[in-house]
Amino acid sequence: MSARDTDWEGVRLHVVTGKGGTGKTTVAAALALALAGRGRKVLLMEVEGRQGIAQLFDCPPLPYDERRVAVAPGTTHHAGGDVYALAADPESALIEYLEMFYNLRHAARALTRFGIVDFATTIAPGLRDVLLTGKAAEATRRKVNGEFTYDAVVMDAPPTGRISRFLNVSSEVSGLARVGPIRSHADTVQRVIRSPLTAVHFVTVLEEMPVQETLDGIAELRGLPSGGLQLGGIMVNMVRPVPLPGDDLGKAAGGSLDAGELSLALKAAGIDDEAVPGGRSALAVSLATELAGYAREALAADGQRRRLAGAARPVYELPRIPDGIDLAALYRLAESLREQGAA
């Protein structure tokens, strides 16, 4: 196993954001598996009430409870570790919070029954966020008998458009609770989120819009008042293999790939096809057209890579898995993240 050391030594809470549909849930799961690789225990947490993790690991919907969903493969030097998963929701987080700090489980249940939690989180959306980030911070810091319960927590977080608001909760909540328990809870959460314990990773694909969102999101987090929020890496997802070596790529994209040469190559490979005027085979002509499409795509992808490089963050690339994402594919993505030093 050639995995090198992680680029994120000391990070215990990995927040994974990105444009919708670029693979946040998939990459968060792969990162959790990668982190679990060296015999570690990792919590993968979702906060959007979508049950994306259960679908991904092909298990029944997750309750508000930490369940083991996968075992990471071990290496020559380490046994495999475990990935636990949690689907967090604000109601359960509030009940748990009130019970943990005030022993108020029954009162809290009554509050939920009368819809008061919904009401409160509607008039103070920041409260919702602080309950969810609070759960992540709690799991990150939790210790039993002096030992951390989890070596790392990975959060499948809201998309880029909402992430800075989601994480920068203290100013939001302050209107509702300038002093008192919610305030100090929010402050504790902020201390975890704005510390070297936390890193925010961005998932993107090599296309104009998601790349723009990534660059905007990074700029926004960099501009947060009082700073202290650690930017993580850029995980470039669904990367397609480049169809041709460098020189030919430009030629193919420009439509000047020599179809005559292709015809000869096809003939040499024993693929004989009917000739069209000019002596080239029909197959070679359509192949050249198809290659031109792929080549243009590959060149455009390189352009997006250059834009991402401007953000000056570590970049990790994950292949597009042609047959879709199953557990085996997740292991493959996890392995790739480890090899590149993301975990």
Ligand X SMILES: Nc1ncnc2c1ncn2[C@@H]1O[C@H](COP(=O)(O)OP(=O)(O)OP(=O)(O)O)[C@@H](O)[C@H]1O
Residues contributing to the site for ligand X (CB under 6 A) = 18, 20-26, 52, 159, 237-238, 318, 320-321, 324-325
**Residue 304's binding partner, choosing from ligand X, Mg ion, none, with beta-carbon cut-off 5 to 8 A by kind?**
none
Decide whether 22 or 170 has the Cβ nearer to Mg ion. Answer: 22
Q: Nearest approach, Cβ of 12 to ligand X (angstroms)?
A: 22
Part of the chain binding Mg ion (CB under 5 A), chosen from 18-26, 184-192, 211-219, 269-277: 18-26
Q: How many CB atoms lie within 10 A of CB 225?
A: 7
The beta strand positions in 121-169, using DSSP E, are 143-144, 147-148, 152-156
Q: Nearest approach, Cβ of 25 to Mg ion (angstroms)?
A: 3
Token digits of residue 143: 């210790």
* Residue 18 is a binding residue for Mg ion (CB under 5 A): no
Decide whether 28 or 295 has the Cβ nearer to Mg ion. Answer: 28
Decide whether 287 or 343 has the Cβ nearer to ligand X. Answer: 343
Phi, psi dihedrals of residue 333, rounded to the nearest 5°: -65, -40
- Tokens 């030919």 belong to which residue? 248
* Residue 52 is a binding residue for Mg ion (CB under 5 A): yes
Q: Nearest approach, Cβ of 187 to ligand X (angstroms)?
A: 30
CA 241 to centroid of chain Cα atoms: 21
Q: Nearest approach, Cβ of 50 to ligand X (angstroms)?
A: 6
Q: Residue 15: in which H helix or E strand, if any?
A: strand 13-18
Three-state DSSP class for residue 236: strand
The Cα 127–Cα 122 span in angstroms is 9
CB 69 within 8 A of CB 84: yes
* Contact pattern from residue 21 through residue 40 relative to Mg ion, giving x for each residue in contact according to CB under 5 A and a dash for the rest: ---xx---------------
Decide whether 43 or 205 has the Cβ nearer to ligand X. Answer: 205
User: Which among 287, 247, 250, 251 is positioned nearest to 267, based on CA atoms?
Assistant: 287
Decide whether 21 or 115 has the Cβ nearer to ligand X. Answer: 21
The Cα 54–Cα 214 span in angstroms is 27
Three-state DSSP class for residue 318: strand
Q: Nearest approach, Cβ of 254 to ligand X (angstroms)?
A: 29
Decide whether 246 or 322 has the Cβ nearer to ligand X. Answer: 322
User: Which among 164, 219, 234 is positioned nearest to 22, based on CA atoms?
Assistant: 234
Part of the chain binding Mg ion (CB under 5 A), chosen from 17-25, 139-147, 200-208, 290-298: 17-25
Task: Name the site residues for Mg ion (rule: CB under 5 A).
Answer: 24-25, 52
